Amino acid sequence: MIVAAQMIFLQLISVISFSNDMGRTWHKYTFTDERIHVDGLLTEPGEYTHKFTLFGHRNYRDHWKLFALDLAPLVARNCTYPDDYVNVSFARNTQNSNQCHLGMRQTFEQLKEGNCLVGSEYKRVTTTELCPCTDIDYECGYGYITTSSGCKKVVGKGSPIDDIRDILDEDTTPTIPPCVNGLRKMPTQYRKVPGDQCQNDLEGKLFTIVNCSIVVTPPPPPTIHVKLLNKTNEVKIGEVLHFTAVSNSETVWSVIRTAEPKDKITTRPVKRDEISLN
């Protein structure tokens, strides 16, 4: 039941209006023979109460006047279940064909006509069913704005946002998720709508899996520069040569002449006592 009273400055009233069909129709009720200024209207605890308290004064020099109102006798009969009720869905008038709102499909009882009195002991029956997630259950995440083609990262200057600081803190450092078993769940540009309770997130909508395993690159084989101390058939004394270690277990030294690149390269094993390090 809804009760309304006119609160117009310097206008005295003695009649209030009430509706028992969620405001579709209104009826008038004279609550006193003495006209007063209405200062407030209170309801008793409970959603379906028909008891109200009205207070006001006749003039600003007068004392407060309180009126305890019980409008139950003004309604012809009490409501009966299930004849006077109908089950309705919250999102029945939206474009969402599956009638889901925030990932839920809610059905609750509502009076058909409202020409009866709902008792204070009545408890509204509401059923909730969780829905599978769809695109409407997600929105652009922090640092992104909605565009015609999806979510676009905010870049600062030139952004369509009036004040970029309203949605993006320049001092914010994104937290990198931990690497678990060589894989990391990186957040995407989307997030779930706050309060949404849909089930089974769309694959790849909130996170993408990236490889974070450590790639070990083997070091290049060590090289050193040496000078030949004694004469050989392939090179001259004092000529700068490059010697490469090609084995980890036993170093094998090979002579590579680089002074004259056009000549044929000749290699042979060299004994350790034939060389000295620079």
pLDDT in tens, 61-112: 888 889 988 888 888 888 887 888 888 876 544 555 567 888 988 888 888 8
The per-residue pLDDT for 30 is 92
> What DSSP assignment string belongs to the chain?
-EEE----TT--B-EEEEESSTTSS-EEEE--SS-BEEEEEEE-SSTT--EEEEEEESSTTSPPEEEEEE-GGGSSSB--TTTTEEEEETTTTSS-TT--BTTEEEEEEEESS--SBPPTT----EEEEE-B--GGGEEE-TTEEEETTEEEE--STT-SSS-GGGT--TT--PPPPPPBTTEEEEE-SEEEPTT---BSPPTTTSEEEEE-PPPPPPPPPPEEEEEE-S--SSS-TT-EEEEE---SSS---B----SSTTSPP---B--GGGEEE-
Distance of alpha carbon 87 from alpha carbon 201, whole angstroms: 29
pLDDT on residue 83:
84
Which parts of the chain have pLDDT scores under 70?
A: 45-48, 90-98, 114, 120, 155-174, 221-278
Task: Say what the pLDDT of residue 71 is.
Answer: 86
